[in-house]
């Protein structure tokens, strides 16, 4: 798997700065060299730094943006990246400043001069996240990246503050790797094996095979995968870092590839359906983060792993399946398969673990992209307290999320002539009727949030903290939700 670049924290060595031969990055604020490092660089550059900081180009920069000087006179460095960041910068601005370094990492060593900036740990986090690159299937050898050091006035304190963020970066990278991986590599077998390997981190991992799922009555989930050569599985990951309290549950849709089944998708863009296991990928990344940072909370992560393929044995439109709950479902569209997977895993999670609350994640509907684009995840909930806590966590981490409506009128659209419900309710309000379907598998009184991440799990362009491809959206927000709401202090 991919790992974040190793970052060391060191004290500034002002006299060695002019002779540093790699890439330098200076965190600065005003229109003149103010910090000890800036003054030392300006002296070596014979006032060149002061000229840049007094320029209109520098003055136009927003917090977190950068200006580059190539082969600056008076320095041995190949480049000097000047990053504007005020002392009272927000977390988002500090991470953006770090990303200005991370996106340009190369073979040369990098020294970031953050000195006494109060957000130095967040700068390192932004650097780590943006330096992600998915290259395991490139035939040409990939050049090694240079060493990264951040010079700060209190290196031990900053390193301690950065440690949980480093664990969080590992979780995000794990999620991105899973979502980026092609489906011929990330089969249900391979996915389950990668999750089982996290037992070495202290997670309890259990893999439920098809025979066990049949005995449990998971007819909705099993129907989705019956046309595939890859067997369906449910993987349960437990982190028991709290006391005797019931766990908080995370449930993820893990469709490793989605052709749409018999209701087959158009060919154009179908290659992106390798990301239809994005919800399960986020759950896995959160569980990895919790284990790495030794979270003082009880959390269980459950993922349903299936592949939706057309085949002589595949589920047909018009079939009726029985869920673990006992409700029957008329399958109108086999491309609305994720909700069938989640229905059984949600019910199992509640039956077995009696959790304090449930959050499910799924790349569930194209309708949510029509509604919210790629800027926000759709948030649906039956519980204002849990929903508001999640929205607060997502806002604090800069992960876009928007609460969507629910109601009986939408639910009525799922009425079936021959079964207890249909799996779709028409094109209008499609993301909402999907959420209403899932709500039928949430017990009365159980706090629940559904996150439709179809628009945010994988993007066609770069973002501030990620290159194009998988984003890892949700790992940051859910980790913060657990830290703030469920972790023992």
Which domains are present in the chain?
7-153 (3.40.220.10), 169-486 (3.40.630.10)
Cα gap 195→202, rounded to integer Å: 12
For residue 69, CA distances in Å to 49, 64, 82, 444 come to 10, 16, 8, 61
Cα gap 181→196, rounded to integer Å: 17
Is residue 488's pLDDT more than 90?
A: no
141, with CB counted inside 10 A (0-12, 13-18, 19+), is: exposed
Chain segment 8-37, per-residue pLDDT in tens: 999 999 999 999 999 999 999 999 999 999
| pLDDT score of 121 | 98
Token pair, residue 464, equals 């501030």
User: What is the percentage of the chain residues whose pLDDT exceeds 70?
Assistant: 100
Residue 158 CA, chain-centre distance (Å), reads: 24
| pLDDT score of 485 | 97
User: Which single residue is written with the structure tokens 């005995």?
Assistant: 215
Mean pLDDT of 162-188: 98
Chain segment 191-203, per-residue pLDDT in tens: 999 999 999 999 9
Is residue 145's pLDDT more than 90?
A: no
DSSP letter for each residue of 227-279: TSSSPPEEEEEEEE-SSSSPPEEEEEEEEEEE--TTSPPPSTTGGGGGGTTHH
Residues annotated as part of the active site: 265, 339
| pLDDT score of 81 | 97
Is residue 149's pLDDT more than 90?
A: yes
**Helix 338-353 / helix 430-439 crossing angle, nearest 10 deg:** 30
Is residue 369's pLDDT more than 90?
A: yes
Look over the chain and give the mean of its residue pLDDT values, rounded to a whole number: 97
Cα gap 396→357, rounded to integer Å: 21
Is residue 1's pLDDT more than 90?
A: no
Cα gap 242→234, rounded to integer Å: 24
pLDDT band, residue 144 (cuts 50/70/90): confident
Nearest CA to 339 among 313, 330, 289? Answer: 330
Token pair, residue 342, equals 């989640």
pTM comes to: 0.97
Chain segment 402-450, per-residue pLDDT in tens: 999 999 999 999 999 999 999 999 999 999 999 999 999 999 999 999 9
Is residue 489's pLDDT more than 90?
A: no
Is residue 142's pLDDT more than 90?
A: no
Is residue 267's pLDDT more than 90?
A: yes
| pLDDT score of 120 | 98
User: What is the percentage of the chain residues whose pLDDT exceeds 90?
Assistant: 98
Mean pLDDT of 152-168: 98
Chain segment 208-220, per-residue pLDDT in tens: 999 999 999 999 9
């Amino acid at each position: 798997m991919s790992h974040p670049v190793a970052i060391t924290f060191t004290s500034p060595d002002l006299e060695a700065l002019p002779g540093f031969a790699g890439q330098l990055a200076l965190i600065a604020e005003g229109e003149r060299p103010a910090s000890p490092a800036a003054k030392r660089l300006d002296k070596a550059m014979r006032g060149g730094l002061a000229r840049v900081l007094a320029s209109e180009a520098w003055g136009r920069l927003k917090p977190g943006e950068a200006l580059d000087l190539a082969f600056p006179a008076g320095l041995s460095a190949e480049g000097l990246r000047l990053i504007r960041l005020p002392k009272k910068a927000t977390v988002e601005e500090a991470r953006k400043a770090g990303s200005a370094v991370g996106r340009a990492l190369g073979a040369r060593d990098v020294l970031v001069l953050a000195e006494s900036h109060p957000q130095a740990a967040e700068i390192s986090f932004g650097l780590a996240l943006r330096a992600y690159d998915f290259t395991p299937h490139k035939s040409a050898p990939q050049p090694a990246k240079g060493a990264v050091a951040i010079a700060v006035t209190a290196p031990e304190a900053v390193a301690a503050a950065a440690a949980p963020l480093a664990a969080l970066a590992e979780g995000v990278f794990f999620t991105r790797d899973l979502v980026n991986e092609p489906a011929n590599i990330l089969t249900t077998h391979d996915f389950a094996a990668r999750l089982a390997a996290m037992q070495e981190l202290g997670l309890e991992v259990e893999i439920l095979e098809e025979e066990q799922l049949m005995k449990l009555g998971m007819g909705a989930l099993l129907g989705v995968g019956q046309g595939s050569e890859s067997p369906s599985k449910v993987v349960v990951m437990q982190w028991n870092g709290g006391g005797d309290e019931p766990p908080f549950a995370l449930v993820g849709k893990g469709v490793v590839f989605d052709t749409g089944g018999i209701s087959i998708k158009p060919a154009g863009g179908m290659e992106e359906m390798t990301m239809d296991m994005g919800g399960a990928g986020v759950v896995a990344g959160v569980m990895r983060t919790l284990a790495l940072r030794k979270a003082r909370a009880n959390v269980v992560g459950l993922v349903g792993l299936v592949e939706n393929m057309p085949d002589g044995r595949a589920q047909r439109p018009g079939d009726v399946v029985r869920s673990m709950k006992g409700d029957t479902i008329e399958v109108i569209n086999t491309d609305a398969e994720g909700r069938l997977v989640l229905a059984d895993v949600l019910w199992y999670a509640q039956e077995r673990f009696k959790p304090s609350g449930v959050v499910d994640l799924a790349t569930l509907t194209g309708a949510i992209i029509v509604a919210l684009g790629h800027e926000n995840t759709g948030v649906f909930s039956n519980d204002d307290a849990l929903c508001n806590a999640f929205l607060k966590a997502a806002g604090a981490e800069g992960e876009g999320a928007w609460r969507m409506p629910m109601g009986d009128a939408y639910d009525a659209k799922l009425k079936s002539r021959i079964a207890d419900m249909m799996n779709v309710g028409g094109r209008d309000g499609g993301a909402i009727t999907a959420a209403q379907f899932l709500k039928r598998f949430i017990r009365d009184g159980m706090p629940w949030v559904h996150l439709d991440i179809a628009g945010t799990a994988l993007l066609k362009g770069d973002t501030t903290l990620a290159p194009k491809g998988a984003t890892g959206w949700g790992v940051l927000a859910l980790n913060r939700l657990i830290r703030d709401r469920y972790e023992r202090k």
